[in-house]
Amino acid sequence: MEQNNIKYDICVVGSGAGAGPIIYELSKAGFKVVVLEKGPWIKTEHFSKDELVACRRNVYSPNKKDEFHVIESKNHKGEWVSKATRDSSKDYWNGNMVGGSSNLMSAYFHRMKPVDFKLLSTYGKIEGANIVDWPITYNDLEPFYAKVEKVVGVSGEVRPHSTQEPRSTEDFPYPPLKTNIISQWIDEAGKQEGYKMVHGARGIISIPNEDRNSCYYSGYCGSYGCSSDAKSSSRVALLNKALKTGNCTIIPNAKVYHLKTDGNHKIIEAQYYLNNQKKSVKAGTFVVACQAIETVRLLLMSKNKDTPNGIGNENRLVGKNLIFSAGGIGGGNLYFKDFDEETDKELKKQGLFVNRAIQHWYEIDEKEAKAIGFNQKIKGGTVDFLFEHSNPMPKLIRSKWQGSKLLYGSELKNKIKKYFTEQRRIKFEIFNDWLPTDDCFVTLDDKEVDKWGDPVAKIRIGYHPHDLKVAKLLAKKGEKILEIIGAKNISTGISGAPSPNLVVGGCRFGTDPRSSVLDSNCKVHSINNLYITDGSFIPTGGSVPYTWTIYANSFRISHHLLKILK
């Protein structure tokens, strides 16, 4: 094995939202930081709006023949069955590259709210769910939410609404992005229903800043890298600045497979593959941020005589309480013929955002909760409105069917033309808590291996029925808004199938080593110099997308590390 003779102050495994703040802050403070990133270094000039590259080929994620997962889910008989993603259409990779999946995010940024940090004490136990309170409060994280707004870059506009969380700053540092006329309609629909819409923030800057250009409204955000650097990825907002300090070394295509301990509760070496050769690097402190599934996998693979069950796994908790995001999607069609000429022209404007959300039911009162089978108030969630993604291929593929009839020729061409020229589809996405259970976790598969011969992650995906009840109630709120603004053919899909790009947990933090893997500062309880700073730490997921919270917590841990390392 070839060793790097340099001993770094910090070794960071991964480079996405959970890693970027650590790399940025510690490099700025003068510490020597090495970053081991499994994916390639794709730079701004390499990103394009090519749908084949972004969504149809293994360009931004590994080839599933080489690297894959095994998914364990229930069949129609209620039996757990396993299938490798190599052999299915499912993919649980979320962007393997320098900057991680933050390069490809849609960048819907909502803060968690104070109630998200105390689910157990607020609502009590839920049978079959492993809910707990966080070991920190919203107030502990709030200054770092504010720091993300400024340093990483968040655009928006603070307007009062019924569940507005406390803020230490008056407004966002970047003005809101431009919106389509439909945003005004949604605002008016909310007023008609008796509540105010949330003006959604985005991790996309609206005005230029230093080396970054502002958004140019291409309409291609989710699944695509940004060609203007407006999107607030870890790569653009943090890593590029860390590199300018001269204290940061990034090694792409470096797949870490083992963390070596010294027998005295410390990591001394990260071992990795590079160009099919085994290499290693030494450091004083180690940070792992590979996203939840792969972080768990690395800890479980790092077995030796000191850690026979894997690092941090003395109580067999590593991989437990994996969390996705519960909810679903809905949508309807807005037909241009239903509007006057001027309105039609405004509605057709491409690239402008919607940026509206319902959070009025972030908590569901007792009356509404009883209507869906609960005896007390319960946690609700978020409904985010957006236009259908700009990708043409899914629209074309769906067009080939008329019910069970397969269309072709002129009939198919006419249907495609109508879809692209006579309407726009408005959608909503629902985010509510995916309750942690004993049936959602990560282990190592005992048969399947990747191209390096390492065991792949096996993911059991079980959900709590509570999640679906909440999502269905929120769907009705979204459907009502679509009805008011004139949408037709409204439909909603709610299921227990997870969204693989929204996954956290597996190494929950807490104060008691018997019930958590990490302490309140995300240090592995049993290892003195190992921190986990991706979304693995999250014990309960809240009812918003996770990226902003992951960024904020990583800045919080950076602050802690700077204090103890200095």
DSSP 8-state assignment for residue 155:
B
Q: Is residue 482 part of a domain?
A: yes
- Domain end residue (candidates: 474, 497, 520): 497
Domain end point (choices 445, 480, 497): 497
Residues 278 and 141 placed together within one structural domain of the fold: yes
One pLDDT digit (tens) per residue for the chain, 566 residues:
777 778 899 999 999 999 999 999 999 999 999 999 999 999 999 998 988 888 878 788 999 999 999 999 999 888 999 999 998 878 888 889 999 999 999 999 999 999 999 999 999 999 999 999 999 999 999 999 999 999 999 999 999 999 999 999 999 999 999 999 999 999 999 999 999 999 999 999 999 998 999 999 999 999 999 999 999 999 999 999 999 999 999 999 999 999 999 988 999 999 999 998 999 999 999 999 999 999 999 999 999 888 999 999 999 999 999 999 999 999 999 999 999 999 999 999 999 999 999 999 999 999 999 999 999 999 999 999 999 999 999 899 999 999 889 999 999 999 999 999 999 999 999 999 999 999 999 999 999 999 999 999 999 999 999 999 999 999 999 999 999 999 999 999 999 999 888 999 999 999 999 999 999 999 999 999 999 999 999 999 999 999 999 999 999 999 999 999 98
Distance CA 290, CA 284 (A): 19
Residue with tokens 């969504």: 55
CA gap 233, 225 in Å, rounded: 9
| Same domain as 32, residue 137 | yes
Q: Using CB atoms within 10 A of its CB, is residue 342 exposed (0-12), middle (13-18) or buried (19+)?
A: exposed
Nearest to 144 by CA among 557, 465, 461, 508: 557
Are residue 309 and residue 408 in the same domain, yes or no?
no
Short-list 281, 314, 287, CA closest to 300: 314
- For residue 62, being part of any structural domain is answered with no
Q: Which residues pair with 385 in a beta bridge?
A: 356, 428
Q: Using a cut of 0.85, tell me whether the model's pTM lies above it.
A: yes
Q: Name the residue among 388, 360, 417, 393 with its Cα closest to residue 487.
A: 388
Query: Is 456 part of a structural domain of the chain?
Result: no
- Helix H or strand E encompassing 446: strand 440-449
Q: Are 27 and 146 part of one and the same domain? A: yes
Say yes or no: 303 and 332 in one domain.
no
In-domain check, residue 455: no
Distance from chain centroid for Cα 474: 20
Number of structural domains, the chain? Answer: 2
Please name the residue that has the structure tokens 């019910």.
403
Same domain for 210 and 198, yes or no, is no
The verdict on residue 4 lying in a domain is yes
Are residues 545 and 402 part of one domain? no
Same-domain check for residues 212 and 296 = yes
For residue 335, give its domain range.
179-202+326-433+464-497
Structure tokens at 498: 């997870």
Q: Give the CATH number for residue 274.
A: 3.50.50.60
